[in-house]
Structure 1
């Protein structure tokens, strides 16, 4: 039985690598988007705090 599983595994290895590559790419894109989303409000808030209040 090991031979059958091994032969089946060889053909599926490329598929597995392709799935893992796609999952890694999607995960990286998601993490980058999350980092950008976290960064944007903080940058805006820090700019607001550093600006002197207007005296009208």
Structure 2
């Protein structure tokens, strides 16, 4: 019995998943590059992420 090639045995769901993961990876890479550029120029990141954003507070709240 001849084994199936991986390309022909993949389902549409697997292909959709791979496509989605590739897009997420690309978006993550772009975000990391933007962070690196902002750190290199000495500017602060303007992302509302992290502990302060999760708690619903701004960083200036004490």
Taking structure 2 as the reference length, the TM-score comes to 0.52
Structure 2's unaligned 5+ residue stretches are 44-62
Query: Which of structure 1's runs of 4+ aligned residues deviate more than 6 A?
Result: none
Q: Which has the higher helix share?
A: 1
Q: Answer 1 or 2: higher relative contact order, Cα 8 Å, separation at least 6.
A: 2
- How many residues in Structure 1 have an aligned counterpart in Structure 2? 41
Superposition CA RMSD, Å: 2.5
Question: Over alpha carbons, which structure has the higher Rg?
Answer: 1
Unaligned runs of 5+ in 1: 42-56
